[in-house]
Structure 1
Amino acid sequence: MFYIIYNLKRSSLLLAGLLIYFSAFAQESTPPNGPLAWGDQGDGTFRNPVLFADYNNPDVIRVGDDFYMVAASHHFMGNPILHSRDMINWRIIARLWRELPIDSIYDQPGQAYQKGSWAPALVHHDGKFWVYFCTPSEGLYLTTAENPSGPWSPLIEVKRVVRWEDPYPFWDDDGQAYLLRSEQGAGPVILHKMSTDGQKILDGGKVIAYGPVLEGPKMLKRNGYYYIFAPEGGIEHGYQVVMRSKNIYGPYEKKVVLERGSTDINGPHQGAWVELENGEVWFYHFQQINGYGRVLWLEPAAWGDDGWPVMGKDYDGNGIGEPVKVVNKPTIAGEHPITVPASSDEFNQDTLGLQWLWNHNPDDAHWSLNERSGFLRLKALPLVEKAGRTHNLDSVPYDSSIIFAKNTLVQLVMGRESQTTTEMHLTDLQDSQYAGLSLFNKRYASIGVIQEDGRTRLCAERNDTKQTGPVVNQEQVWLRATVEFTEGEAIGRTYYSLDQENFTELGESIPIVRAWFEGTKYALFNYNSEDQGGTVDFNWFRYTHDGPQNEND
């Protein structure tokens, strides 16, 4: 009798979960104020990407009524922690670290692009939050916190090692700790025993799964099975697989559960399986979109009656889910204001907004928010005149450009179309100084002022060209950079104004294309190509995009 009742209950839960799963799908509809390009539509639905920004290699967990996300930041300082109450609307609440003191290469721009913190894992265990990540050249690192808003502990070097990637910790029912990981390249999946405190690897590891470009493993245990969620096939053409076994060391059977299929959504994989108390299940993953980076998607999901996960919607009928563009929001009680990560900044606080990242370990002696109240001050430093190497030893050849400039402050491009404008004051210019606003990546577009032989001019730089504009004989200028999407292509443009009203384009447009792992960033910069010296002050930085706006803006 107990067996019959147990299975009836289990079947009811499975049926409830599947009913919730199918109820998540929404028809393409127009919200009251017209459709937004992404995110919360304000009508009970959301449009994927749920967050159109390069929060790449995401991991998401639920702790009670709260949701937390971590993402990679590679050679920028450093990994963000985001918070949501409804899985759709997110805000940044912390940075796990602001410098990588593990190697001097991170002190200098141009020396470590594509290195730094790779895909992180976020778990809640034993009453605290744990984040693990690997760097390709230094090792495996851990930081913990009792409160996800911080403070986060100084980085703990769990193991000095090269070419590890995508670590994930797992504490089994008996208390034994494990670490899953992949290897740069990527794959296979390797399992290590770990000390209970998570700070020491106890063995050489055992390969437990193989696959083409198999990486990013995440583990959970359910009904006696160990499940491994992992992407295969690479970010452009990949898909999501799930493996399961009764033994943590395998052998594992494997099933493809999410693919591009008949959609135009390439490489839907690598993310997080999140279950709600009401039985709903959701899966976060990323999609690589050229120079935008890896944007965040959220798929309705469920446990199938065969014990395998179900994700997305099977449009082509082959038994494998595909990404869904418009979806009913998760069923979560309460009112949840529309929120997106911060972007605009009036520089009226004593600390930098959490949206900003440095492109090397920060030099705090050469920037300030206090020397001139209400302004961000950047003091020019000389270029780093040394070629660098990426994670796979590709050369970053030296040139006299922003790629090798210290004191470059960046934030993510957000939305398919966006615009940033800043007011820059020419406080103390010196010869060979160049300062302004940039679309920053391996392929870049910058707009600003350059001083040569005591004369100040507007100047637009590209990787291989420089175009000067009119002479500037006033204290401030207004600079603008945009990302536009026309005829299926993302284009970056730069503009200047001498009156804050009329903007003139300067410099050729550039395609926003994929180069380094990270997507293109908006950047404020100030450097001197010959010597140290020269100061500019930014009064404000204002940002608009094609997604939801914060309700308090």
Structure 2
Amino acid sequence: MKNIVLLLLMNISILCPLAAQMSWTADNGNGTFTNPLFYDEFSDPDIIRVGEDFYMAGTTMHCMPGLVVLHSKDLVNWKFLSYAFNRLDMGDEFRLANGKEAYGQGVWAPCIRYHEGKFYIFSNINGHGMQVFISDNPAGPWEHKNMGGNIYDLSVLFDDNDKIYAVYKYDEVKMIEIKPDFSGYVEGSERVIIPAGNAMGEGHHIYKIKGKYYIISADYSPMGRMQCARADKIEGPYETAAISVKETLGTERVHWTGNVGLGSSIPEMGFKFKISKPFKDNMGCATLHQGGIVDLPNGDWWGVSMLDFRAVGRTTCLSPVTWEDGWPYFGLPGNLGRSPRTWIKPAVNVKVEPHAPYQRNDNFNGKTLLPVWQWNHEPDHSKWSLTKGKLRLYTLPAKDFLRAKNTLTQRGIGPISSATVTLDASHLKDGDIAGIGLLNIPYAWLGISRINKNLIIRWYDQANDKWMEASSKPSSSQPVYLRITGNFDEDTAWFSYSLDGKTFTNIGDSVLMPYQLKTFQGTRYA
């Protein structure tokens, strides 16, 4: 197909406490920080320190490129460093091919480690086993090895005896030894180290601290919390304690799409959604859970963990860690298990200017896309290009928005943000649609369609299966400006358009952005 769409500019504006900023930063500029570290999704965080540098890895699900690595000098201000891979050659589902999809699948709960001059990221890829990515430099490139096995929600320890262990599984915690060349697992080494029923959950993080073994995990039943197990030997026996409980940092539970979950098929247009209202008296899985701990050069300890932040999805929070009776509690002396929303920054010997982790606006003048972008599944690389400050997206057939290949996304940013695209639709042919959308289930979009040779501005809301056409008729010779404004603390968004780039007209109703477990992500601009 030769039909093309030209996206000239992507502009993201974020309304946040510091008006001069173009994006949220947790650093308040006065020696304190305010959670979350990023007001956009960063789930399942794992963290390490190498010298005076901190590195963090997080889940990226079905998005490409994947397995993101961030870098920081002070634990508060982070910068994008690398992705561990650009693509996964693991079947049609990762390419939205032949009716298959990988929503909510792919990379889950990575573990980042450093050992003898090399960086490692371990992660389960659902249905394909444990993967390891290895590099001499955390900025990449990364070597990929598929180790297979049913090793999930894992953490890895390079022990003092030169053995490498992985702990994994939900509730019943297992351990297995990894071969030193990462070609597989040591035969006969698998064993249960914590039997089921001991309140251990998932998303494990294992450490050896002052001769003792610690495993931190998250348990969502009966409510989200962080649990810690410790033992003198890696095989146990372990004793356990809750180290963070009932911490929501003041957030309510999200709007929830109750009838769309993992394993569900993609909802068709006209699907009847069951969407719950948020309620304040049930903490559910929204509480602080699943994360790791790290020490500072001065001996202080800090922890990262994730918290459901409404339409944004799961985002990362930073907590001081207090050791008491040999347990690493998240929180402060006298208030163990509860993390402050605002607190004093970690004591490191470096001054860092407040900054956001990504540059979000893109004029497409570079040779590559900015790293803030991720494709929804693996794209068809023959059907897009960057040329002279323009992103060209070639049209591809799709049944609906969720099945459309070459959809480029950014995470939604809270508390309130807007995304604007400048669109040249002059090359659209009859039946083509291009525009800006909210990638979620239910989804919504605002685009340009060519119907009977005429360009038409159209809006669609899947939650209510509702269409609307604008009265304004764009000209093929002029660009059209499309905008989404999202209030991610209220789970609502609205669309607008402009023919001159100055005056914007709202179209359609406000759109609800509920959280759901099919994509297992917050709402994304697309």
Q: Normalised by the size of structure 2, how large is the TM-score?
A: 0.84
Structure 1: gaps spanning 5 or more residues: 1-29, 384-399, 524-553
1:138 corresponds to 2:128: yes
Which letter maps to 2:485? T
1:442 maps to what in 2? 441
In 2, Cα distance between equivalents of 1:421 and 1:37: 18
Higher relative contact order (CA 8 A, sep 6+): 2
1:85 maps to what in 2? 73
Report the secondary structure of 1:365's partner residue. Answer: helix
1:250 corresponds to 2:236: yes
In 2, Cα distance between equivalents of 1:33 and 1:158: 47
Report the secondary structure of 2:485's partner residue. Answer: strand
1:159 maps to what in 2? 148
Report the secondary structure of 2:237's partner residue. Answer: coil
2:520 maps to what in 1? 517
Report the secondary structure of 2:153's partner residue. Answer: strand
In 2, Cα distance between equivalents of 1:199 and 1:466: 53
1:540 maps to what in 2? none
| Alignment of structure 1 residues 264-413 onto 2, 5 Å | 264=250, 266-304=286-324, 306-313=325-332, 320-342=336-358, 343-370=360-387, 373-383=388-398, 400-413=399-412
Q: Encode CA deviations 1:410-431: one digit per residue, 9 max, x unaligned.
A: 0111222111111111241111
1:195 maps to what in 2? 179
Report the secondary structure of 2:515's partner residue. Answer: coil
In 2, Cα distance between equivalents of 1:360 and 1:31: 34
Which letter maps to 1:208? I
1:64 corresponds to 2:51: yes
Query: Is the contact made by 1:81 and 1:93 (CA closer than 8 Å) also made in structure 2?
Result: yes
| Match among 149, 165, 169 for residue 178 of structure 1 | 165
1:493 maps to what in 2? 494
Q: Deviating runs (4+, > 6 A) in structure 1?
A: 30-34
Over 3 Å counting, the alpha-carbon distance change for 1:108 and 1:57 in structure 2 is: same
TM-aligned CA deviation for residue 483 of structure 1: 0.8
| Alignment of structure 1 residues 204-215 onto 2, 5 Å | 205-209=190-194, 210=196, 211-212=198-199, 214-215=201-202
1:397 maps to what in 2? none
2:40 maps to what in 1? 53
Query: Is the contact made by 2:200 and 2:217 (CA closer than 8 Å) also made in structure 1?
Result: no
1:534 maps to what in 2? none
TM-aligned CA deviation for residue 160 of structure 1: 4.6
Q: Which has the higher helix share?
A: 1
TM-aligned CA deviation for residue 513 of structure 1: 1.1
2:278 maps to what in 1? none
In 1, Cα distance between equivalents of 2:493 and 2:453: 30
Identity, in percent, stands at: 32
TM-aligned CA deviation for residue 262 of structure 1: 8.6
Which letter maps to 1:378? L
In 1, Cα distance between equivalents of 2:311 and 2:249: 20
| Alignment of structure 1 residues 9-88 onto 2, 5 Å | 39-77=26-64, 78-88=66-76
In 2, Cα distance between equivalents of 1:198 and 1:282: 30
In 1, Cα distance between equivalents of 2:345 and 2:223: 28
Query: Is the contact made by 1:212 and 1:233 (CA closer than 8 Å) also made in structure 2?
Result: no
| Match among 472, 484, 487 for residue 487 of structure 2 | 484
Query: Is the contact made by 1:417 and 1:484 (CA closer than 8 Å) also made in structure 2?
Result: yes
In 2, Cα distance between equivalents of 1:87 and 1:481: 31
Report the secondary structure of 1:105's partner residue. Answer: helix
Report the secondary structure of 1:419's partner residue. Answer: strand
Which letter maps to 1:62? R
Over 3 Å counting, the alpha-carbon distance change for 1:380 and 1:314 in structure 2 is: farther
In 2, Cα distance between equivalents of 1:325 and 1:262: 9
2:260 maps to what in 1? none
1:148 corresponds to 2:138: yes
2:255 maps to what in 1? none
In 2, Cα distance between equivalents of 1:218 and 1:450: 49
1:536 maps to what in 2? none
Q: How many residues align?
A: 462
In 2, Cα distance between equivalents of 1:253 and 1:73: 32
2:266 maps to what in 1? none
Report the secondary structure of 1:79's partner residue. Answer: strand
Of 436-445 and 264-273, deviating more is 264-273
In 2, Cα distance between equivalents of 1:421 and 1:273: 38
Q: Normalised by the size of structure 1, how large is the TM-score?
A: 0.80
Q: Encode CA deviations 1:124-155: one digit per residue, 9 max, x unaligned.
A: 112111011112212111111111111111x2
1:535 maps to what in 2? none
Query: Is the contact made by 1:314 and 1:321 (CA closer than 8 Å) also made in structure 2?
Result: no
1:239 maps to what in 2? 225
